[in-house]
Amino acid sequence: MEKDFERFSVYGFSVDYPKDARIEFNPKARRGEGDVVFHFPDKVKFFLSWGDLEKAKKTFGTVEKHADHGLNRVKKAGNVKNFELISHDSLRINSHEGPYNRAKFEEVAVGFLSGKRRNPREAHAVHVHCDESSRYFVIYALLPIGGMTDYEKTFVKMAKTVKCH
């Protein structure tokens, strides 16, 4: 483990995260499903969600289709414009190959004083289906575009440290 990282462990899985991140555990989270948010000092957030693998397999079939569903949800969101898939790769997570998708888009924020402001964003997501733990895991982040390459590196580092079983 890198010296600037600590380990978050709960319900039989773990992930290493930067020490400067604040952790927010969803109070409704349970062993079977839930999520946790890693808040960074400059308001960037990474999310780690988990759930029942059998439900995911019944709904999506494969981890690739699960990942595609996540992309489509972002693409079809009412406040998303100019969606573009940047890359479709895979990462080795524990003993699994997980689809790693990156996309960019504009998030339209509607405000009384600001009108329709467009915020460029980059979405990163890795999906894992783990038969050993009977759970799926999704780690994802919405990053502002411009000078945020350190967050991309941190995201990949965190994703690669997920221990799902």
Question: What confidence tens digit (pLDDT) does each residue in 126-157 have?
Answer: 999 999 999 999 999 988 776 556 898 999 99
Question: Which stretches of the chain drop beneath a pLDDT of 50?
Answer: none
For β-strands 115-130 and 135-144, DSSP reports them as antiparallel
- The pair of three-digit structure tokens given for residue 53, joined into one six-digit string: 């693998």
User: For 6, how many CA atoms within 13 A lie in the half-sphere containing its CB?
Assistant: 8
- The pair of three-digit structure tokens given for residue 22, joined into one six-digit string: 């604040």
Query: Does 64 fall in a domain?
Result: yes
Cα angle, residue 147 at apex, residues 88 and 73 outer, rounded to 5°: 40
Rounded to an integer, what is the distance from CA 55 to the centroid of its chain? 19
What contacts 123, CB < 8 A, 6 or more positions away? 74, 101, 102, 103, 104, 105, 140, 141, 142, 143
Its domain, for residue 32, covers 5-160
CB-based burial label for 53 (10 Å; 0-12, 13-18, 19+): buried
**Strand, helix or coil for residue 31:** coil
Residue 161, phi then psi, degrees to nearest 5: -95, 0
pTM over 0.85: yes
Query: Does 82 fall in a domain?
Result: yes
Are 110 and 116 in contact, with CB atoms under 8 Å apart? Answer: yes
Query: Does 83 fall in a domain?
Result: yes
| CATH number assigned to the domain comprising residue 67 | 3.40.1000.10
Query: Does 79 fall in a domain?
Result: yes
Query: Does 165 fall in a domain?
Result: no
**How many domains does the chain divide into?**
1
Q: What is the pLDDT of residue 23?
A: 97
Q: What is the pLDDT of residue 1?
A: 66
